[in-house]
Amino acid sequence: KQEVTQIPAALSVPEGENLVLNCSFTDSAIYNLQWFRQDPGKGLTSLLLIQSSQREQTSGRLNASLDKSSGRSTLYIAASQPGDSATYLCAGPHGSSNTGKLIFGQGTTLQVKP
Amino acid sequence: DTGVSQDPRHKITKRGQNVTFRCDPISEHNRLYWYRQTLGQGPEFLTYFQNEAQLEKSRLLSDRFSAERPKGSFSTLEIQRTEQGDSAMYLCASSGFAGVGSPLHFGNGTRLTVT
């Protein structure tokens, strides 16, 4: 059974700092891994999706990596801004399935201070 | 592409009442998912549809819960005889055919409070 863990639960950094959010998963047969952003009281916004055949994906100041052998993914945020303050969630499909039946971590709540 | 739309945004109901939520997915997406999220937790999978067929249901989906997608477009989630433990954010998501893994697109959710 796939389990997804995110540490730390909360993170506070000053504006401009580069930071890394961590995600670990137990089933290395993961089909892909997706990172989401959630603002308070809102739904989830998809940030990056990494296929199992890929090692990383980039979008603007965001870079996500996937290491299946170690069961880890990281989300790197460069030059953080106050607008990046949100909860970041990672999720992977159940087993080797390619459906959207995802197992989510509990999220890391990021606060970027001006 | 207007995104995934959910209605209502908020629902307050008394224990024992029935409630129904609606989700309109992105029009070209054939897969539709329902998730439930409680405070401080990640979303938990409830059920999903491919077109009008409900392909999987979680053990979380007790017999008081029923979901439909009658014409393969919008979907409804009904909770009968609501309990306080049903209070949560109910999220709907859609995706295109997941041949190579399509990202999920979520709506803003319906927040249910059972008093």
Between CA A35 and CA A87 the distance in angstroms is: 11
Interface test with B, best of A94, A99, A102 (most B CBs within 10 A): A99
* Residue B97's pLDDT band (cuts 50, 70, 90): low
Question: Is the model's pLDDT at A46 over the cut of 60?
Answer: yes
Q: Could B107 and A98 be called an inter-chain contact, meaning their C-beta atoms sit closer than 8 Å?
A: no
Query: Would you state the pLDDT for residue A27?
Result: 85
Q: pLDDT value at position B54?
A: 92
For the record, the structure tokens of B16 come out as: 């024992």
Contact partners, residue B62, CB within 8 Å, separation at least 6:
none
pLDDT given at position A30: 83
Please write the tens of the pLDDT for every residue from B40-65.
Answer: 899 999 999 999 999 989 988 889 99
B67 CB near a chain A CB, below 8 Å? no
The torsion angles phi and psi of A82, rounded to 5 degrees, stand at -55, -30
Q: B101: pLDDT confidence band, cut at 50, 70 and 90?
A: low
Q: Give pLDDT, residue A96.
A: 58
Phi-psi region of A77 (alpha: psi -120 to 50; beta: other; left: phi over 0): beta
The pLDDT of residue A76 is 97
**Residue B100 pLDDT class (50, 70, 90 cuts):** low
At residue A31 the predicted structure's pLDDT band, cuts being 50, 70 and 90, is confident
**What mean pLDDT comes out for the span B63-90?**
95
Between CA A24 and CA A3 the distance in angstroms is 8
Q: Using a CB–CB cutoff of 8 Å, tell me whether B112 touches chain A.
A: no
